[in-house]
Chain A
Amino acid sequence: SAVISQKPSRDICQRGTSLTIQCQVDSQVTMMFWYRQQPGQSLTLIATANQGSEATYESGFVIDKFPISRPNLTFSTLTVSNMSPEDSSIYLCSVGRGHEQYFGPGTRLTVT
């Protein structure tokens, strides 16, 4: 498994601003993932972030809105840009170990 931490755990932001979410892992991993979980819904993959390469975005998600950094094998950031109330959600990072994925505690974002 892996120990994963996220910062912040929650935030309330104004419309039009941006928030950067940090994800730290206790050991080196090749593959990191960012998910969104809207209220009462299941998880939707935003993008896959491998160290040393550009993030790969899923259909419906674009780099201008959700820029991702992956500077090393234990850290990644996701920025939610130019936020609107529709971006209110829980954002989760996860790491891959073999075929399995392990998740961080999530960041609960509310946009007003």
Chain B
Amino acid sequence: EDQVTQSPEALRLQEGESSSLNCSYTVSGLRGLFWYRQDPGKGPEFLFTLYSAGEEKEKERLKATLTKKESFLHITAPKPEDSATYLCAVQANSSASKIIFGSGTRLSIRP
């Protein structure tokens, strides 16, 4: 069964303190792995798609990386406005369009 596990559930950092969020996945042939940001009371905002092991994508203070079993979302020198829930999701080759989401990591950045 396709599965996505994110850790930690919650992470509190000081402004400027870099860290990484983990997404472990089990899927029968990966079509794509996605990262989303979700602010309270809003829909998820698309950040990145990764397709193959070794691929990296960057956007401002965020960098996503992918291996055959997991993905990391690295956040460098975070600011309070980076506080949000970060969701990881995968799409299998066999699933047509279905995306399976992890439970998310709630990130809080203290000024």
A residues near B (Cβ < 8 Å) are: 1, 4, 31, 33, 41-45, 48, 58, 92, 94, 96, 99-106, 108
Contacts and interface: CB of A to CB of B under 8 A. Distances in A.
B43 A92 contact: yes
Q: Which 3 A-B pairs have the closest CB atoms?
A: A103-B43, A99-B32, A42-B103
B99 A45 contact: yes
A53 to B, nearest CB: 13
B39 to A, nearest CB: 10
B102 A105 contact: no
Contact of B49 (A33, A48, A100, A104): A100
Interface of A is mostly: strand
A108 B40 CA distance: 12
A43 B43 CA distance: 10
B103 A41 contact: yes
Given A42-B104, A99-B32, A99-B91, A104 B43 contact: yes
Nearest to A103: B43
Contacts of A45: 98-99
B102 A42 contact: yes
